[in-house]
Structure 1
Amino acid sequence: MAKIRTIQPLVATLAPLVGRAKGEKARDQYRRQTQPWRAWYNTRRWEQLRLQTFERDLYFCQRSGELCSGTGNDPNSPVANHKVPHRGDPALFWDINNIETVTKRIHDSLIQAEERRARIG
């Protein structure tokens, strides 16, 4: 009688994800726990600073020249972007000269891609 051989699987098994939180809400919670400076975005001081930036730039995107007239998650809503990523440095975070008005579309595509490339390179 012939001996039966086992065939090795062609696909590796994944590590179990038990206990690992899923979704954007969990990602935000994790980031708040590991990066305490994220709480700065929820302060009145930040709200005033970003409004001062929008007024200084007359609500025009400093990258595309487009008027930032949207609200909420609209692609043309204004976003206060740090030109030099602050990475928790309070001097860079609170410096109005380090903040520019951009559209949400520009912030979520072009600027995020630039920051990813800077981390890799």
Structure 2
Amino acid sequence: MARLSSIKPRLQALGSRIAAPSDRQEAEAERHRQRDRTQPWRRWYYTERWRQLRKDVWVRDNFTCRMSGIICCGAYPAANSPVADHIIKHNGDEALFWDIDNVQTLAKVIHDRVKQAIENGWSGDVEALIAKVMSEQGWTYRPR
């Protein structure tokens, strides 16, 4: 009778996909650490005063995104989680930072995609960009 020989394994063990952050996540974390070191006003975001102001803005705006009309009912980091956004960049101006009339509620996805594009110099059709971002989320955009 023929003898069975051992078959070499064709699969290799995979490393953990959960344990190590991606290069992109690590780069983003380092960027935040660098900003915290070089921009002293960044500490204001970690205060109870900011947390309270942020909540007051969300309540004032009825947890509704001012740019898209989305109800911001998600928990961070959901696309529909609320973000307190400075309408005019404060760049360390304390009065502008704490001015409640300079803070608005935005849905996280709108803040991260639309508002950041505008702040970075994008000058296209804002309504079209909002509609595109919302469509990608499976949401319907009704201009306000």
Q: Give the TM-score range, shorter chain.
A: 0.7 to 0.9
Partner SS for 2:105: strand
Runs (5+) with no aligned partner, structure 1: 1-21
Distance 1:65 1:29 in 2: 33
Matched positions, count: 97
Distance 2:64 2:30 in 1: 33
* Aligned residue in 1 for 2:85: 81
Partner SS for 1:117: coil
Distance 1:80 1:25 in 2: 20
* Aligned residue in 1 for 2:46: 42
Distance 1:110 1:85 in 2: 15
Distance 2:92 2:57 in 1: 20
Asked if residue 99 in structure 1 is aligned to residue 77 in structure 2, the reply is no
Which aligned runs of 4 or more in structure 1 are off by greater than 2 angstroms?
Answer: none
Cα deviation, residue 88, structure 1: 0.6
Distance 1:28 1:87 in 2: 16
Amino acid at match of 1:29: R
Cα deviation, residue 29, structure 1: 1.1
Partner SS for 1:108: helix
Cα deviation, residue 26, structure 1: 1.3
Runs (5+) with no aligned partner, structure 2: 1-25, 123-144
TM-score by length of 2: 0.65
Q: Decide which of 98, 112, 117 is 2:121's aligned counterpart.
A: 117
**How many percent of aligned residue pairs carry the same amino acid?**
48
Cα deviation, residue 24, structure 1: 1.6
| Offset from partner CA, 1:47-90 (integer Å, 9 cap, x none) | 00000000000000010011001001100000000000101100
Asked if residue 32 in structure 1 is aligned to residue 36 in structure 2, the reply is yes
Partner SS for 1:81: strand
Cα deviation, residue 27, structure 1: 1.0
* Aligned residue in 2 for 1:6: none
TM-score by length of 1: 0.78
RMSD (Å), alpha carbons: 1.1
